[in-house]
Amino acid sequence: MYRLIRPLLFTLPPETAHQAVFGMLGGFGALLGAPPRERPRTLAGLRFRGPVGLAAGLDKDGELAAFWPRLGFGFIELGTVTPAPQPGNPKPRLFRLSESGALINRMGFNNGGVDALVERLQRLTDRPCPIGVNVGKQRTTSLEDAAADYATCAQRAAPVADYLVVNVSSPNTPGLRQLQDASSLREIVGRTTDSSLGKPVFVKLSPDLEAEALEEAVAVAERAGAAGFIAANTTLSRPEGLGPRSAEAGGLSGAPLHPRTCATVAAVRRATRLPLIGVGGVHSVESAQALLDAGANLIQLYTGLIYQGPSLVRTLHEALP
């Protein structure tokens, strides 16, 4: 089915296609039937419905939270949300590199604010799988004051979230990645865990950190109370052979990111025994298995869903160990 729809969607600008799909699913998502049979696993004290999660950024405001589990997602991550609503960067800010199965985005945390997401989750009656809320800082908040933004979001979201994610790795909010430095990260993770009502706090890392910086970030976050890690976010690097569109500014996701994600997952695994979610470039059973082999306990995806369609989720849900 998706093979028929995809060429039509790909004639639209990426964000328009995104909105069209959200409109359709909002209207007809209920027709998709029940979630597939559970393949449960426990991690960080949570019972996951299966090994495949929805990565942050696809449903930032939780508009389709009721619908994703029906595709076979065993957990979903909403956000990134910030304390107040913000528009993000000017459009166009999302680009397809179709020949490479990749995207470049510089969305910049466009979102409706944490309170709107919380209200939506309060109204959600059916919650078949864990829901994570990924939080970030307001664009206008200085790096010195950033920890307060994370704590505010965590405090508001914790009552309706199963886990929280500290996003210090988006390349599209100026300076954000500097928050992975030891002193900032210590304060952010400490204050977020203090505000999380005991819900596990994951830290989402960049695939562009040097080995030493990555190792230090993991150690600092673990000591400050992190329950686990997500590796990784999009990359500012540009592997060879991506074509002219690769000159767009922003974070690269999808198939070309996969080798770098595998290396990041392996490096995080060497640095800690805490739960680890692998994300980046999953587009097949083999690419998902490679992240598990590198040391991830669960995987997430975003760009693979755009290129392969929703059937990829069920395929992975059934096939992964």
Residue positions annotated with a catalytic role: 170
- Signed CA dihedral, 214, 135, 178, 301: sign only: positive
- By C-beta, is 34 or 299 nearer to ligand FMN? 299
CA atoms within 13 A on the CB side of 113: 7
Region of residue 101 (phi > 0: left; psi between -120 and 50: alpha; otherwise: beta): left
Of 105, 138, 141, 308, the one binding ligand FMN by CB under 6 A? 105
- Signed CA dihedral, 105, 107, 112, 118: sign only: positive
Contacts of 241 (CB under 8 A, 6+ apart): 100
The reply to whether 137 sits near ligand FMN by the rule CB under 6 A is no
Which x/- pattern, by CB under 6 A, does the window 11-50 give for ligand FMN? ----------------------------------------
DSSP 8-state secondary structure symbol assigned to residue 90: P
Shortest distance, position 82 Cβ to ligand FMN, whole Å: 10
Task: Determine contact, residues 291/266, Cβ cutoff 8 Å.
Answer: no
Residue ranges of E strands in 123-211: 131-135, 163-167, 201-205
Shortest distance, position 78 Cβ to ligand FMN, whole Å: 9
- By C-beta, is 132 or 190 nearer to ligand FMN? 132
Which x/- pattern, by CB under 6 A, does the window 180-219 give for ligand FMN? ------------------------x---------------
- By C-beta, is 19 or 30 nearer to ligand FMN? 19
Footprint of ligand FMN on this chain (CB under 6 A)? Answer: 55-57, 60, 80, 94, 103, 105, 107, 134, 167, 170, 204, 233-234, 253-254, 257, 279-282, 301-304
